Amino acid sequence: MIALTLSGCSDDSAQADEWAKKVCDQVQPQVKKIQEANASINAASKEKNSSAEVKKTDAAAFEKISGAYKSLGDAVDKAGPPPVDDGDKLHADAVKELRGISTKYGQLRKTVDGLDTKDQAKFAEGLQGVATELDSLGKSGDKALSKLQSGDVGEAMANQKGCKRTGGSPGV
Q: What is the pLDDT of residues 9-47, one digit of tens each?
A: 345 678 888 888 888 888 889 989 999 998 998 898 887
Per-residue confidence (pLDDT) for residue 172, from 0 to 100: 27
Task: Answer for the pair 77, 93: CB distance below 8 angstroms, yes or no.
Answer: no
Per-residue confidence (pLDDT) for residue 157, from 0 to 100: 86
**Cα–Cα separations (whole angstroms), residue 7 to 10, 53, 95, 124:** 5, 59, 31, 61
Per-residue confidence (pLDDT) for residue 159, from 0 to 100: 85
User: What's the CA gap between 169 and 32, in Å, rounded?
Assistant: 9
Low-confidence ranges of the chain (pLDDT < 50): 1-10, 167-172
* Backbone CA torsion sign across 20, 26, 28, 31: negative
DSSP class of 171: T
Per-residue confidence (pLDDT) for residue 111, from 0 to 100: 93
User: Looking at the whole model, is its pTM more than 0.85?
Assistant: no
Per-residue confidence (pLDDT) for residue 165, from 0 to 100: 64
